[in-house]
Amino acid sequence: MNEIFKILEEDARKTPQQIATMTGIPLSKVKGAIKQAERDRTILKYKAIVNWDRLGDEQVVALVEVRLVPQRDVGFDAIAERIYRFPEARSVYLMSGTYDLAVLVAGKTMQEVASFVTQKLAPLDGVQGTVTHFLLKRYKEDGEILEVEKRPKRVPIMP
């Protein structure tokens, strides 16, 4: 059954009929597995990857490293929940290493992202410090290459 989910993860537009044909699993079982996965939140969302630069609607994205003080009995979970509830926080990950959370933040401008970090994120109880890294260019996202750049071929220099 994992085949069904691998196919959907690669291309969420595949229909149950196409998946049944590709896997040899009966259509009724494919439909049932998908419905059950949606109900139990195994499938969380169907997503399109959009190259916003091509639409002229650029976004500012930053990766924010967050150092935390773990809370008694809940560790990092309670503060992580407060952070992931902010609409500016696109993704939140617990990390190993020199910082505790990695927060992917998006906004319309650098100032909007900076304001989120300085006014909402950094002042939270339990946050010891933040380091913000602005993304300069996206090359690949969720396994998809965003733009294949055609480089001119260099003419070899003959001695």
At 17-68, the pLDDT tens digits run 999 999 999 999 999 999 999 999 999 999 888 887 788 888 899 999 999 9
123 token code pair: 């002042």
Domain parsing of the chain, residue ranges: 2-39, 52-137
- pLDDT tens digits for range 80-129: 999 999 999 999 999 999 999 999 999 999 999 999 999 999 999 999 99
Chosen CATH of 52-137 out of 3.40.190.10, 3.40.640.10, 3.30.70.920, 1.10.10.10 = 3.30.70.920
- pLDDT tens digits for range 61-72: 999 999 999 988
Section 70-76 average pLDDT: 88
The answer, yes or no, to whether residue 150 has pLDDT greater than 80, is no
